[in-house]
Amino acid sequence: MFSVARCFTHLLRSELLHPIKHSLIKLFSQSTPQVSMSSETPEQLNSTSMEETQLANDPKTPSISPYPTPLSPPLPLISKEIELSRAMSASSKATTFSLSRDDVIFEDQWLLVVNKPFGIYCETVLFSVPHLLQQSPDSVEASEFHLANRLDRDTSGVMVITKLHKVAGKLVKAFTDHKVQKTYMALCVGSAPKWDRIRLQSGHGRSKYGAWRVYASSVVGRKLPGGSAVKHMETLFELLSVNRTVHFIEPSKCAKDQEKTVVVEEKSSTDANQGRDEILVRAFPKSGRTHQIRLHCQYLGMPIKGDVKYEGVCEWKGEICDGHTLHAESLSLEHPVTGLPVKFHAPLPLWATQAMQSR
């Protein structure tokens, strides 16, 4: 069990950065060739803070690294231990988990849409589909089941499974081409926002140590370690409630000029560990990047509750958080076979309904 003191002690330690050493700068003088990433020692590769110490706060300022500067902080040290425990718990459920008819949101001869439970891997859900449909796992039909979209282990909500390979190809392409509209609900802990709706635009990519990070919008397209490039990431957030004081309940029809738009170019000025407000938001991701909503909530200074990887609290109001509070609320798309518009909506989890109930 993790105490409050232990959680925050580790989180504070994880934010400590070592000062830039002058000797590193000398290595990159004009008379010395630039050192390649592959020449680093194992000790350097294992350091989670070295990357931050080598880079300037302004991504436009030349630095000793050939790669753009990540603007979000490195993974907290405490996250490794907690994430391992959560992963082991989810893995232990793989052989015993089974979908029920109560989990089914929609089904026809081409699609099966389910409400994925919290704390379960997508693959575990997929493996349980033959049992739900009373088919053999080794049958020809079962071999064609395919995940059209994926959710993180601790994210609940709408998940689409196709029953035929040819249908899978069409639907996957729709997701890739951003022709699917999605909404998410997230319960965050941080400083109460001063906005009702905000559109956040930034870069997204893997940093030197493999973690997903927020980058400046101006470096989209720049190369990253490993050969990938910074990609555009955009999310619209709508404030629903703060400490159970309701703002909006249904998706707003506000005009675009009433939104606050933030184009990320520098590190967030909001400390993710300062505020202690409970904030419920609806997120409309306009791109489909890995951990997109989680990263943008962290940047806004309101990390998702329980999301220890991105500075979320690991203990709240005397209870240990078993995972993060993020829910895939709805999917709107064109049916891959009939061509008709369809919208799938997953029932809200208890934490979401409670956050919208006045005290």
Q: How far is CA 139 from CA 1, 157, 308, in A?
A: 43, 27, 40
Long-range CB contacts for residues 16-21, cutoff 8 Å, separation at least 24: 16/49, 17/49, 17/52, 17/53, 18/49, 18/50, 18/53, 19/53, 20/53, 20/54, 21/53
Please check whether residue 222 is in contact with residue 212, taking contact to mean a CB–CB distance below 8 angstroms: no
Task: Answer positive or negative: Cα dihedral of 107, 110, 115, 119.
Answer: positive
Task: Name the residue among 188, 209, 185 with its Cα closest to residue 72.
Answer: 209
Task: Name the residue among 219, 168, 204 with its Cα closest to residue 298.
Answer: 204
Q: Which of 103, 108, 138, 152 is catalytic?
A: 152
What is the DSSP code (8-state) at residue 338? Answer: T
Q: Please give the radius of gyration of the chain, using alpha carbons only, rounded to the nearest integer.
A: 22
Whose tokens are 């934490």? That residue is 351
Show Cβ contacts of residue 114 under 8 Å, excluding neighbours closer than 6 positions.
Answer: 99, 103, 104, 105, 125, 158, 159, 161
Confirm whether 152 is a catalytic residue.
yes
Burial of 26 (0-12, 13-18, 19+ CB in 10 A): exposed
Taking phi over 0 as left and psi of -120 to 50 as alpha, with beta for the rest, 80 belongs to alpha
Active site residues: 152
